[in-house]
Amino acid sequence: MLARGSRGTLLAWEFERAGISFAIADAGHMDAASRIAAGIINPITGRRLVKSWWIDELLPLARQSYREIEAALGLPLWREMRVRRLFADDRERRVTAEKQARHELSPYVNANADDDGCWIEGAARVDLPLLLGGARERWRKQGRLQTTAADVMAEAANYSVVIDCTGAASARQPAFDFIPWEFSKGEMLVVSVEGLAPDVVLNRGHWALPVVPGVAWVGATHEPNFADLRPTPAARVELEASAAILLGRPFGITGHVSGVRVNLPDKRPVVGRHPLQPRVGFLNGLGAKGALWAPALARQWVNHLTEGVPFDAEIDLARFRRGAAESRAKS
């Protein structure tokens, strides 16, 4: 397994839980999105206020998985949250009222809207930095972790299956160039601020997440056509303006970081076996939903390996099979 971030961590956890033998190669990477991932799970997202994909099924599984990992690692990883969604304009106010009347947002948004916004229940925050650090130490002590880079195609000759979970790094590899990747840079501010409710995420275009008393994160930007990975002055100005609206109180900026997200045009992740190299597997394209999606995607891999269960067609790597054939014909 080539692992990085929440993807590889949850996959390795599910393997250990199922008694599947595995080894991890993880050299780390400076543009990994997990470096700045807030770990927010929000049942209702976007300007159109829609339910997150598969949220009713994925949320209970995510809660169960992270609670189990908490117990195994002895670390506080899962925090139940609410989201205070502040309306950006009259359109959002009207859309919310219409969807509430049709019960489209239940059970997460009920008749609790006011002139300024609404409350979204059932949200959570996964402490991804704590999770990644604790899991790496666990598997280092077990002798499963190698902090070196590995070539997925070369390693496939040595194992029954090698599953690449390295995000942007693997998406740029020739072996997966038939997949229509989309990359975006996200930037986030670390701010010092007092008086925030510890269980409330503030959201209005961007979000403000209380991390520990006196510290919050404000993010994240979305820049598809980025020149480099460095944080930019323009993003800082944009996020600082949002922080002023969301926080509504004095704050100081103590940090500014950036990372790269990997997405796909259909807004779905991708799991499965390489169409031309079946001993090579994949788990990628989680974008900003890694904390929510990773447990279920890891479980699909376990079910596939132990019981031969096919991957769900919506997320199976096989949906890009035609692109793989065309790529091979050109080579």
- Confidence at 36, pLDDT banded by 50, 70, 90: low
- Cα gap 38→12, rounded to integer Å: 21
Residue type present at position 321: R
- Please state which of the ranges 81-95, 153-167, 203-217, 301-315 shows the lowest mean pLDDT: 153-167
* Domains of the chain: residue spans and CATH: 2-39+127-181+266-330 (3.50.50.60), 182-263 (3.30.9.10)
- The predicted pLDDT at position 28 comes to 64
- The predicted pLDDT at position 324 comes to 52
Give 293-317 pLDDT, tens digit per residue.
999 999 999 999 999 999 999 999 9
- Please state which of the ranges 144-148, 202-206, 278-282 shows the lowest mean pLDDT: 144-148
Do the beta carbons of residue 219 and residue 36 sit within 8 Å? yes
Average pLDDT over residues 123-135: 95
For residue 303, what are the CA distances in angstroms to 282, 299, 307?
Answer: 15, 6, 5
- Cα gap 152→113, rounded to integer Å: 50
- Please state which of the ranges 86-100, 101-115, 178-192, 311-325 shows the lowest mean pLDDT: 311-325
- The predicted pLDDT at position 246 comes to 98
- The predicted pLDDT at position 244 comes to 98
- Confidence at 152, pLDDT banded by 50, 70, 90: confident
For residue 132, what are the CA distances in angstroms to 200, 205, 288?
Answer: 23, 28, 17
Between 250 and 7, where is the model more confident?
250
List, in order, residues 6 or more apart from 85 with CB less than 8 Å away: 44, 49, 96, 117, 118, 119, 120, 203, 204
- Cα gap 34→32, rounded to integer Å: 5
- The predicted pLDDT at position 319 comes to 92
How does the average pLDDT of the chain come out, rounded? 91
Residue 165 has pLDDT above 80, yes or no: yes
